[in-house]
């Protein structure tokens, strides 16, 4: 723990010093400091603000410079004058400017971050990306929907959910962005106009929500043979299952999957559960891992299309939708979300069980590491052992995007520790590779 503090405290001190200097040295009238920090916990343990005006201006200038260089007819420009590469480079540079302008990145008017201890073993972190409301929209402001809403996905997630990541995702906004760029570059040609009809059908049936969940069952163990993970002994750990979930309009996507499965090696086996048709996909060969249930299935429950790794998870999702065994009944989840408004455009959740599960995998990879790297990686690993759970929301607001997180530890410290450990691992690995290459044998190598 002391090693973590030795890294985190100096970095935080430096970071906060930079923040104070940037805020005090800028003229208040020329920044969005008040608009950004009004969304944050000003009385917290950390308050950081970054005025992006200068950065956005430099990014615009850099973009113009790159285009000017690429389009230069100067004889010293080998790319532009190459008969094969020239047209390709010209097409790419023609697309760069509209892609950047339509992305909405240039509309970022400030970024803020705060961290506050709400109570014992619970921290609240906020990150707000600000834009002036009167400016036109761009891709990054449209991708996560227009307004926060109730999270119906919580009605599908079982109580044993260890990992959940679900968000609004406007694929239509992405395709419109691609089309606008294409039209500017090609003089009006649309990508979607030439897309296959099947792709258009799927796109039109998608209802702007997609997610992934994973359940952890501590009462059921799986055993991974040692030879599969290059270990001397077999690895025992909690069993898991996972599912992909997407919101759809009608049952068009279900019909497409049914048609594809009917033409496969074996038709799916249908089971009626709580009025839902669960389609089990038979596997040609069993999975050689004891305790791992891989019996994939797919089904549609209300507006959600689900593809699950096991039939048992599929049944749990259907039961949760009918009010039995939902994630909201989980003690970890209830503790983290107490007093938190879950109205948002997306949620990610990590339980204490999943943290322990992932640490076991990390320790396994750590065992394969050279001794020189273990100390560096241990900084990250030890900090993660303190995380007893985390929930994070994304909210699309009129004047920006808000990320709000509740966790059992101060995640600002976790990010710094993770970054520092990653750098140490990369540098350590590089030195080790040089040392093993034999290039420095005469110098005695590096220690």
- Tens of pLDDT, residue by residue over 115-158, are 998 888 889 999 999 998 777 778 888 888 888 999 999 999 99
Q: How far is CA 58 from CA 29, 87, 94, 338, 442, in A?
A: 20, 27, 20, 43, 47
Its domain, for residue 236, covers 144-329
Q: How far apart (Å, rounded) are the C-alpha atoms in residues 306 and 182?
A: 33
> Is there a domain that residue 54 lies in?
no
Q: Give which of 143, 132, 70, 67 is closest to 106, Cα–Cα.
A: 132
Residue 239: inside a domain: yes
pLDDT above 70: residue 366: no
Lowest mean pLDDT among 72-81, 105-114, 239-248, 252-261: 72-81
- Residue 440: per-residue pLDDT: 44
Q: 85 vs 166, which has greater pLDDT?
A: 166
Instruction: Identify the pLDDT of residue 272.
Output: 93
- pLDDT exceeds cutoff 70 at 417: no
Task: Report the distance separating Cα 297 and Cα 294, nearest Å.
Answer: 9
Sign of CA dihedral 247, 248, 250, 255: negative
**Domain annotation covers residue 266:** yes
Task: For residue 109, tell me if it sits in a domain.
Answer: no
Q: Give domain status of residue 171, yes or no.
A: yes
Q: What is the residue-wise DSSP string for 265-277?
A: SSPPEEEEETTEE
Highest mean pLDDT among 41-55, 187-201, 303-317 belongs to: 303-317
Per-residue pLDDT at 2 exceeds 50: no
Pairwise pLDDT comparison (187 vs 98), residue with the higher score: 98
pLDDT at 160: 95
Residues 415 and 196: their CA atoms lie apart, in Å, by 43
Q: Look at residue 241 in the predicted model and tell me its pLDDT.
A: 95
pLDDT class of 430 with cuts at 50, 70, 90: low
Q: Which of 146, 241, 119, 257 is nearest to 198 (CA)?
A: 257
- Could you tell me the pLDDT band of residue 444, with boundaries at 50, 70 and 90? very low
Q: CA-to-CA distance for 128 and 146, rounded, in angstroms?
A: 16
Report yes or no: 283 and 295 within 8 Å, Cβ to Cβ.
yes
> Would residue 296 count as lying in a domain?
yes
Predicted confidence at residue 14, as pLDDT, reads: 43
- Mean pLDDT, rounded, for 431-438: 56
* 154 inside domain: yes
Q: If 0-12 CB within 10 Å is exposed, 13-18 middle and 19+ buried, where does residue 243 land?
A: buried
Q: What is the DSSP letter of 151?
A: -
At residue 20 the predicted structure's pLDDT band, cuts being 50, 70 and 90, is: very low
pLDDT for the residue numbered 194: 80
What distance in Å separates the CA atoms of residue 132 and residue 105, rounded to the nearest whole number? 12
Angle 390-391-395 from CA coordinates, rounded to 5°: 150
Q: What is the mean pLDDT of residues 412-423?
A: 59
pLDDT above 70 coverage of the chain, percent:
72
Total number of domains in the chain: 1
pLDDT above 90 for 350: yes
Residue 39 lies in a domain: no
Mean pLDDT of the chain: 79
DSSP letters spanning 72-107: ---TT-HHHH-TTHHHHHHHHHHHHHHHHHHHTGGG
**In this structure, what are the phi and psi dihedrals at residue 407, rounded to the nearest 5 degrees?**
-150, 165
């Amino acid at each position: 723990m002391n090693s973590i503090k030795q890294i985190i405290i100096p970095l935080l001190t430096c970071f906060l010093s930079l923040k104070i200097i940037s805020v005090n040295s800028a003229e208040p009238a020329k920044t969005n400091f008040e608009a950004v920090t009004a969304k944050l916990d000003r009385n917290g343990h950390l308050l950081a603000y970054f005025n992006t005006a200068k950065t956005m201006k430099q990014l615009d200038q850099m973009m113009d410079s790159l285009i000017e260089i690429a389009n230069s007819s100067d004889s010293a420009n080998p790319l532009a004058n190459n008969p094969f590469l020239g047209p390709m480079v010209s097409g790419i540079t023609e697309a760069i400017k509209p892609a950047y302008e339509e992305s909405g990145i240039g509309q970022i008017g400030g970024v803020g971050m705060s961290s506050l201890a709400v109570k014992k073993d619970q921290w609240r972190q906020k990150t707000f990306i600000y834009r002036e409301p009167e400016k036109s929209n761009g891709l990054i402001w449209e991708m996560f929907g227009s307004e926060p809403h109730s999270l119906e996905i919580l009605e599908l997630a079982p109580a044993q959910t260890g990992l959940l990541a679900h968000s609004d995702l406007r694929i239509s906004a992405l395709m419109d962005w691609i089309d606008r760029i294409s039209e500017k570059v090609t003089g009006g040609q649309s990508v979607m106009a030439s897309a296959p009809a099947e792709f258009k059908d799927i796109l039109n049936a998608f209802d702007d929500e997609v997610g992934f969940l994973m359940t952890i069952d501590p009462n059921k163990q799986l055993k991974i043979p040692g030879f599969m993970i290059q270990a001397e002994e077999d690895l025992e750990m909690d069993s898991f299952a996972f599912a992909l979930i997407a919101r759809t309009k009608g049952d068009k996507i279900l019909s497409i999957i049914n048609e594809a499965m009917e033409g496969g090696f074996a038709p799916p086996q249908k089971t009626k559960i709580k009025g839902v048709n669960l389609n089990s996909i038979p596997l040609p060969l069993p999975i050689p891992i004891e305790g791992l249930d891989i019996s994939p299935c797919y089904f549609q429950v209300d507006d959600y299309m689900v593809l699950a790794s096991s039939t048992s998870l599929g049944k749990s999702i259907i039961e949760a939708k009918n009010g039995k065994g939902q994630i909201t009944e989980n003690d970890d989840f209830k503790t983290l979300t107490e007093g938190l408004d879950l109205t948002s455009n997306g949620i990610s959740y990590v339980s204490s069980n999943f943290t322990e599960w992932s640490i076991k995998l990390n320790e396994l990879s750590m065992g394969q590491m050279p001794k020189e790297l273990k100390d560096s990686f241990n900084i990250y690993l030890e900090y993660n052992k303190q995380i007893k759970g985390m929930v994070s929301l994304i909210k699309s607001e009129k004047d920006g995007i808000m990320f709000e997180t509740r966790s059992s530890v101060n995640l600002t410290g976790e990010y710094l520790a993770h970054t520092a450990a990653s750098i140490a691992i990369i540098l350590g690995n590089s030195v080790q590779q040089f040392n093993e290459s034999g290039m420095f044998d005469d110098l005695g190598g590096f220690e």
